[in-house]
Amino acid sequence: MPANLPEPHVFLRSLFDAAVAAALPDAASIAPFLPAPPKGRTLVLGAGKAGGSMAAAVEAAWPAGARISGLVVTRYDYVPAAFAAAQRAGSTRIEVVEAAHPVPDEAGRRAAARIGALARGLSEDDLVLCLMSGGASSLLALPAEGVSLD
Give the CATH number for residue 103: 3.40.50.10180
Q: Answer whether residue 2 is part of any domain.
A: no
- pLDDT-derived band at 34, boundaries 50, 70, 90: very high
Give the model's pLDDT for residue 51. Answer: 96
Q: What is the DSSP letter of 142?
A: -
* DSSP E strand stretches across the chain: 42-47, 69-75, 94-99, 127-132
Q: Which domain holds residue 42?
A: 26-139
Q: Determine phi and psi for 21, rounding to 5 degrees.
A: -60, -40
pLDDT digits (tens, 9 = 90+) for 107-137: 999 999 999 999 999 999 999 999 999 999 9
pTM score: 0.86
| Average pLDDT taken over every residue of the chain | 94
Q: Answer whether residue 5 is part of any domain.
A: no
Q: Answer whether residue 74 is part of any domain.
A: yes
Q: Answer whether residue 79 is part of any domain.
A: yes
For the cut 90, the answer to whether the pLDDT of residue 3 exceeds it is no
- pLDDT-derived band at 7, boundaries 50, 70, 90: confident
H or E element, residue 85:
helix 81-88
The residue among 37, 39, 46 whose CA lies nearest residue 64 is: 37
Q: Answer whether residue 3 is part of any domain.
A: no
